[in-house]
Amino acid sequence: MSTDAPQPHGFEQAAQDWKHWHEERTATVAGPYGPLSLTGTHWLSDHPEGRIPGVPGQWRQDGDELVLTASAADGLTVDGEPFTGQVRLTADRGPIDGSRVAHGERRLVVLSREGLWAVRDFDPDSPARRAFRAIDATPYDARWAFPGTFRPYDSARTVRVENADGVERGLGLAGEIAFEADG
């Protein structure tokens, strides 16, 4: 703020908290397995033969699991070891860099949503990650900080949201935040 007026109590701490959040957000986005390294989400229903363009191996759903079949020529690793043959996989739940399947530095993350299976391809050398410089953001301004109250919903609610792949999926809602601004 460029004013000589006294700053509200806690302004410096709030401004520092915002700066810290922005720095962390930038580091997360630019990280080797951050959102900018995601080069594709491949839904198996779009590839019934099990071959995903640009992704080694053959992938197919079998009940509550995904089956990956690969040869040495595919160059895949599973759990950090070179992989050939067949392996049954469940959805990856941990951090991306801990996914079970890799192709060099790329991480092939298995996911299941609403009964559909997909493989996400995270490549630290993606063009988007290489081109990234910064996240534009408006600086912290205490005039836009309001006390509020979180009101959780009594029961689960979802709203349908179109994802980047053009498919609508359910997004869970926990509640609402109530605050007053300018009356």
Residues 6+ apart with CB under 8 A from 162: 168
Q: Domain boundaries in the chain?
A: 35-131
pLDDT per position as a tens digit, 7-55:
455 678 888 999 999 999 999 999 999 999 999 999 999 999 999 999 9
Report the pLDDT averaged over residues 98-115. 94
Q: Which residue has the higher pLDDT, 76 or 145?
A: 76
What's the pLDDT band for 104 if we cut at 50, 70, 90? very high
Q: 22, 29, 19, 33: which is closest to 132 by C-alpha?
A: 29
Mean pLDDT in residue range 152-170: 87
Confidence of residue 6 (pLDDT cuts 50, 70, 90): very low
Take residue 169 and report the two structure tokens written for it. 């999926």
58: Cα separation from own chain's centroid: 24
Exposed (0-12), middle (13-18) or buried (19+): which is 35, by Cβ within 10 Å?
middle
pTM of the model: 0.79
Q: How many C-alpha atoms does 123 have within 13 Å on its Cβ side?
A: 12
Scan for tokens 């890799």, then name that residue: 102
How does pLDDT run across 62-71, given as a tens digit for each residue? 989 999 999 9
The answer on pLDDT for 110 being more than 70 is yes
* DSSP for residue 31: S
